[in-house]
């Protein structure tokens, strides 16, 4: 028997596969803000979510919210081919290693998004498969500890420990220590930034950082935070809950929480900073890219102006998000090949 969730997922997949001209008609008037036009397939996806009254994870009790995030991710995941997948433990944490069919011998240590409260190996399985297979780079996803049960610095400590473990076990993993990168999306992008900072300070090898709409400033006094506070998947309510749960009364400007305020050390790894036009986190991600550049770090900043927060997970339906993710994978592969 088909469940309601399965029917909705099938409906979403069918809608996202429609010709673009049909999506434009069904999605209603174009959404234009800050000189940007929202992609037609994403406009239709957001409309369908409103029609079925899909509740945001932040409106549910934490266990139900975590299940909702996995369900949302599964609806846009599709079936992503990959050379091989292996579960293992990294610094005592659950982890999953994705090895592409054409393996270039480099590795990306990856931390998932979810506001430090949600997300796991399952919620980001599809984008990790997609990224690995399209880039030729192995992806090692790590399941760090979540708030509110374990607030800051639990996730921070886990991220640093995971990087140390990968460096120490590079031979066992079969990767070149000089071609280890770190990356993540949203909260995971935040953890990737602090790993990159600490790697430079401590002299641990790190070749590259992939930051997809990273959290860099918990103060969040930006135009994008106000412009896109509601209606574009990531909401102000979600961000406020994430802040209360993870920061839990600590200083919002602590550089381990908000790397935009960090004193950046010399020798940091080159970075690709990716942002989405319709994302509350857009401005802080781009501000961090500018800080990296000012500190002498080789950095490329790339905004996808028609995308929303969460597009990194949309690899199995639609066209525009999948194309954006393919471009990210190509840049990762080029950086580490």
Q: Which residues are catalytic?
A: 186, 279, 309
Residue with tokens 């000089």: 178
How far apart are alpha carbons 160 and 282 in whole angstroms?
A: 25
Please give the distance of CA 297 from its chain centroid, rounded to a whole number. 21
How far apart are alpha carbons 264 and 198 in whole angstroms?
A: 9
Give 265's contacts (C-beta < 8 A, 6+ positions apart). 197, 200, 201
How far apart are alpha carbons 244 and 148 in whole angstroms?
A: 8
Give 136's contacts (C-beta < 8 A, 6+ positions apart). 100, 102, 103, 104, 106, 333, 337
Alpha carbon of 336 to those of 3, 137, 197, 303: distances in Å? Answer: 43, 8, 19, 21
Give 229's contacts (C-beta < 8 A, 6+ positions apart). 235, 236, 280
Please give the helix or strand (H or E) that residue 126 lies within, else none.
Answer: helix 125-135
Phi first, then psi: give them for residue 167, nearest 5 degrees. -60, -45
Q: Among 54, 53, 95, which residue's Cα sits nearest to residue 71?
A: 54
* Longest CA pairwise span in the chain (Å): 58
End-to-end CA distance of the chain: 47
């Amino acid at each position: 028997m088909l469940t309601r969730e399965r029917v909705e997922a099938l409906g979403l997949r069918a809608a996202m596969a429609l010709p673009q001209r049909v999506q434009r008609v069904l999605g209603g008037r174009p959404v234009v803000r800050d000189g940007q036009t929202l992609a037609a397939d994403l406009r239709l996806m957001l409309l369908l979510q409103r029609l079925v009254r899909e509740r945001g994870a932040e409106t549910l009790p934490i266990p139900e919210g975590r299940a909702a995030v996995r369900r949302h991710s599964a609806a846009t995941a599709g079936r992503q081919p990959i050379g091989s997948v292996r579960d293992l433990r990294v610094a005592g944490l659950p982890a999953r290693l994705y090895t592409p069919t054409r393996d270039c011998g480099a590795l990306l240590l990856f931390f998932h998004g979810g506001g430090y409260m949600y997300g796991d190996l399952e919620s980001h399985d599809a984008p990790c498969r997609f990224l690995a297979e399209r880039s030729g780079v192995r992806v090692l996803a790590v399941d760090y500890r979540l708030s509110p049960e374990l607030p800051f610095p639990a996730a921070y400590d886990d991220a640093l420990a995971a990087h140390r473990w990968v460096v120490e076990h590079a031979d066992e993993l079969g990767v070149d220590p000089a071609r280890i990168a770190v990356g993540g999306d949203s909260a995971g992008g935040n953890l990737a930034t602090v790993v990159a900072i600490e790697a430079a300070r401590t002299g641990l090898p790190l070749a590259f950082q992939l930051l997809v709409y990273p959290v860099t400033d918990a103060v969040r006094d930006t135009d994008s935070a106000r412009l896109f506070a509601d209606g574009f998947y990531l909401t102000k309510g979600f961000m406020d809950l994430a802040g209360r749960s993870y920061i839990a009364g600590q200083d919002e400007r602590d550089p381990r929480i908000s790397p935009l305020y960090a004193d950046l050390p010399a020798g940091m790894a080159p970075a690709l900073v990716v942002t989405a036009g319709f994302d509350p986190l857009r401005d802080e991600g781009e501000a961090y890219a500018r800080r990296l550049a000012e500190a002498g770090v080789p950095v490329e900043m790339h905004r996808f102006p028609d995308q929303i927060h969460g597009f990194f997970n949309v690899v199995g339906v639609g066209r525009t998000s999948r194309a954006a993710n393919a471009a990210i994978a190509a840049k990762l592969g080029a950086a580490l090949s």
